[in-house]
Chains A and B, each alone.
Chain A
Amino acid sequence: SQQGEEDPQALSIQEGENATMNCSYKTSINNLQWYRQNSGRGLVHLILIRSNEREKHSGRLRVTLDTSKKSSSLLITASRAADTASYFCATPHHTGRRALTFGSGTRLQVQP
Chain B
Amino acid sequence: DAEITQSPRHKITETGRQVTLACHQTWNHNNMFWYRQDLGHGLRLIHYSYGVQDTNKGEVSDGYSVSRSNTEDLPLTLESAASSQTSVYFCASSPDVNTEAFFGQGTRLTVV
Find out whether the CB atom of A31 lies under 8 angstroms from the CB atom of B98: yes
Which residues on the A side are within 8 Å of B90 (C-beta)? 42-43
Give the shortest distance, in Å, between A97 (CB) and chain B (any CB): 6
A96 and chain B: residue at smallest CB distance: B48
Q: How many residues of B contact A (CB 8 A)?
A: 28
Find out whether the CB atom of B42 lies under 8 angstroms from the CB atom of A41: no
**B1 sits at the interface (CB 8 A):** no
Give the shortest distance, in Å, between B103 (CB) and chain A (any CB): 4
If A95-B45, A95-B56 touch, whether A100 touches B101 (CB-CB below 8 Å) is yes
How big is the A interface, by class? 20 to 34
**A104 sits at the interface (CB 8 A):** yes
A-B contacts, CB under 8 A, total: 71
Find out whether the CB atom of B100 lies under 8 angstroms from the CB atom of A95: no
Report A30-44 CB contacts with B as 1/0, cut-off 8 Å: 110101000011111
Given contacts A2-B42, A45-B101, 10 further A-B contacts (CB under 8 A): A42-B106, A43-B90, A95-B58, A95-B59, A96-B48, A96-B56, A97-B98, A98-B50, A99-B58, A102-B43
Residues of B in contact with A (beta carbons under 8 Å apart): 31, 33, 35, 40-43, 45, 48, 50, 56-59, 90, 92, 94, 96-106
Residues of A in contact with B (beta carbons under 8 Å apart): 2, 30-31, 33, 35, 40-45, 48, 50, 88, 90, 92-93, 95-105
